[in-house]
A and B are shown apart, each in its own frame.
Chain A
Amino acid sequence: MILVLAIAAGWLSGLVRSRIVRKPYRVPEISMIWLVLVAVFPQLLIFHIPYTAGWFSDTWASAVLVISQLLLLGFVWFNWDLIGFRILGLGLILNLIVITLNGGLMPLSPETARALYPEVPPSVWQIGSRPGMSKNILLLYEDTRLAWLSDSILLPEWFPWTRALSPGDLLIALGVFWLLAVEGPDKPTPQYNSPD
């Protein structure tokens, strides 16, 4: 949810900025959009739709997550000329590295899980298991490869949505914010030559 919030914040900032410079708000041109749909659709089935999530084992979930993120990296590569995509791509690479090194899912320590869901009994958090239909795997912090790249950043308790983030997630949020707030509004308007 915080990543969607970054999109909203970037868009609003872009709108305000376009008002200040008195130019219509424009978004950067993005190519190969279909690649995002192809990459994200399986993730929707496995991680976001409760009805279909049960059809897939954890092995499938981890394989699909890695392949899907590789496809998204391909999409970022095709749009590499935009700075926002470079920032976002770096975040994606960091997430992909820690996910791949830890068996295909994003590591989460039991301590972080307990902080996120204090009402859940601690015995529920079984090391090596995937909680619900999430992209996470519960691993002890000391047993996690490149643990500092995992979901180890906790946002303040007053924050209403998901509070555990990875450094890669922060870069992804910054990348989309940059794309919409900075790279959109000042894009020069195409000049058309009059036939006269």
Chain B
Amino acid sequence: MNTLIQKFSLAAGKVNRRHIQIFLVLLTLSMLVLGAGAPGMSGGIGGF
């Protein structure tokens, strides 16, 4: 158990500000294209 926690701590220690920034930008752009784009029947036609 201690080893597992230690491994998680090590992995968390490697996550820095730059990683969080990249994640936030990717998330924002994903939301943006979801809202801005209108590809043919992206929401699905449902019921068929």
Cα distance A44–B43 in the bound complex, in angstroms: 10
A39 touching B35, Cβ below 8 Å: yes
Report B19 CB to chain A, min CB distance, Å: 10
**Residues in chain B near residue A134, CB distance under 8 A:** 40-45
Give the B interface residue count (CB, 8 A): 27
A169 touching B38, Cβ below 8 Å: yes
Contact among B22, B26, B28, B41 for A36, CB-based, below 8 A: B28
A36 touching B33, Cβ below 8 Å: no
Cα distance A176–B34 in the bound complex, in angstroms: 12
Q: List 9 A-B contacts (CB under 8 A).
A: A3-B39, A36-B31, A91-B37, A120-B45, A134-B44, A162-B39, A162-B42, A165-B40, A173-B33
Query: Is A83 interfacial (CB-CB < 8 Å)?
Result: no
Please give 4 more A-B residue pairs, beta carbons under 8 A apart, in addition to A117-B41, A169-B37. A3-B34, A27-B25, A72-B36, A168-B37
Interface flags for A1-38 (1: CB within 8 Å of B; 0: not) read 11110110001000000000000111110100100110
Cα distance A134–B44 in the bound complex, in angstroms: 6
**Residues in chain B near residue A139, CB distance under 8 A:** none
B36 touching A92, Cβ below 8 Å: yes
A124 touching B34, Cβ below 8 Å: no
Cα distance A164–B42 in the bound complex, in angstroms: 9
A176 touching B43, Cβ below 8 Å: no
Query: Is A100 interfacial (CB-CB < 8 Å)?
Result: no
B32 touching A95, Cβ below 8 Å: no
A133 touching B44, Cβ below 8 Å: yes
**Residues in chain A near residue B13, CB distance under 8 A:** none
A120 touching B48, Cβ below 8 Å: yes
A179 touching B46, Cβ below 8 Å: no
B46 touching A132, Cβ below 8 Å: yes
Interface flags for A161-176 (1: CB within 8 Å of B; 0: not) read 0111110110011001
